[in-house]
Amino acid sequence: MIPIDRRPAGGRIRVGIAGLGAVAQAVHLPLLARLHDTFEIAALADLSPSLLATIGARYGVPADDCVTSVADLIARPGLDGIVLLTSGSHGADALAALDAGLAVLCEKPLATTVAEAERLAASPNAGRLLLGYMKVFDPAVEEARRVAVEEAATLGDLRSIDVIVLHPTSEAQLAFAHLVAPPGDIDAGLLGDLRAASDRLIEVAIGPAASAALGRIYGGILLASLVHELSVIRSVTGDTGPLAIDHVDVWPDGAWPPSLAVAGRLGSSVRVSLGWHFLDHYPAYREEVRFHHPGGSVELTFPAPYRLNQPTILTVETGANETRNRVIYESIEEAFERELLAFAALIRDGAAPRTGIADGRTDTITCQRIVAALAARRGIAVGGEAAHALDEGA
């Protein structure tokens, strides 16, 4: 297959949106409408016909361009790219879109399996996929990377990284957005087929026994959430390899979602501590990523991800003896919006994606290593792609 160049010569970029759930309604569709000089919302896809009709009317998308499958969306004439916001793995749909010559903005997770990521990487159009790690586009994260590089002599070698995520319910986070309620008109048989296909991919990734015991942790927490923190670590440190994993714990028994703690190492032997806690009555989402050096700390505090134009706070602390220098950096530039503009640059100018298939593959491996370590600790057989991950990642 030869690469297909479908960059628009001028005018607005025509995009199709696949998946009209929370992130589409609260984030991407409002931002695409805000960027009306750059983008045209040209087509929509969702499994729910009534949700398609409601959102299509809201954004002025003709009924003929509202379809109920990603395959039909990819086949719509005149599109320049698609934004994949469906749940679960995006490997097959992303590959189909690339093969059709479309640019792809792909929400996480890129893929459930390493094999899916490798098939994407083998596409002649692989450079036309932007992976939706929006935090990488946050001005505070970019500034943290600059500080880490330009003030390396003052800070000294990175010693450790601490991550904490305090996650209230999705309903609490999204109440402000007044989402269209799930209409319940999706064919039950189709939903069953999709769940079965997702389960099969998880089995390929971690094996049947680990899938039965730990599959929800793998798909519902690691690939669905923790990968964002991995992307921040990679962006600030420049370390592009998967984490080695020393210890994993999940508690309390029987709770869903639970708390998760991971101790690992970068390739440089820098220690990494990851804590992810679902706290259903916690008053507000909280996320902190802290980089500790002998000469000071670089700390990022992120707002709730669905609230647009809220600042991420970067705090840089240096000094010596009894003197401390604290510099605080904030910007209300929206990371999701900057990500969309990067997608426009990819389509119009062929700009290389800042986050792409290699990042998704790396994070899939790290997530498999985490599951392998937890399975070993609990005496659960691990299989599939993750069967060798524990030895490689420990």
Per-residue pLDDT tens over the stretch 191-210: 999 999 999 999 999 999 99
For residue 394, pLDDT over 90 is answered with: no
For residue 323, is it within any domain? yes
Q: What mean pLDDT value characterizes the chain? A: 94
Half-sphere exposure of 274 (CA within 13 A, CB side): 29
Residues 75 and 214 in one domain: no
Same domain, 112 and 148: no
Residue 1 pLDDT > 90, yes or no? no
Question: Given this model, what pLDDT does residue 393 score?
Answer: 53
The DSSP element (H or E) to which 317 belongs, if any, is: strand 312-320
pLDDT of residue 391: 57
Structure tokens at 185: 């008109």
158-187 mean pLDDT: 91
The answer on 285 and 162 residing in a single domain is yes
Q: How far apart are CA 35 and CA 51, in angstroms?
A: 23
Q: Is the pLDDT of residue 146 over 90?
A: yes
Confidence of residue 239 (pLDDT cuts 50, 70, 90): very high
Last residue of a domain, one of 112, 133, 154: 133
Domain match, 127 and 94 both: yes
pLDDT digit string, tens, across residues 347-393: 999 999 999 999 999 999 999 999 999 999 999 999 999 997 655 55
pLDDT of residue 145: 98
Whether a cis peptide bond, with omega within 30° of 0, leads into 168 is: no
Q: Which pLDDT does position 184 carry in this prediction?
A: 86
Q: Which CATH number does the domain housing residue 64 bear?
A: 3.40.50.720
Q: Output the pLDDT for position 170.
A: 86
**CATH number for the domain including 378?**
3.30.360.10
Q: For a pLDDT cut of 70, what percent of the chain falls above it? A: 96
Same domain, 151 and 184: yes
pLDDT for residue 4 is more than 50: no
Name the more confident of 183 and 111. 111
Euclidean distance between CA atoms 224 and 215, whole angstroms:
12
Domain of residue 113, residue span: 13-133
Domain count, the chain: 2
Count other Cβ atoms within 10 Å, centred on residue 301. 17
DSSP 151: T
CB atoms within 10 A of CB 203: 19
- Co-location of 147 and 94 in the same domain: no
Return the pLDDT at 182.
80
| Angle (CA) 48 50 55, round 5° | 95
- Residues 150, 218, single domain; the answer is yes
Count of beta carbons in the 10 Å neighbourhood of residue 104: 30
* Per-residue pLDDT tens over the stretch 24-71: 999 999 999 999 999 999 999 999 999 999 999 999 999 999 999 999
Domain stops at, among 80, 111, 133? 133
- Whether residue 287 sits in one domain with residue 217: yes
The dihedrals phi and psi of 14, each to the nearest 5 degrees, come to: -90, 115
Query: Is the domain of 91 the same as that of 143?
Result: no
- pLDDT value, residue 179: 92
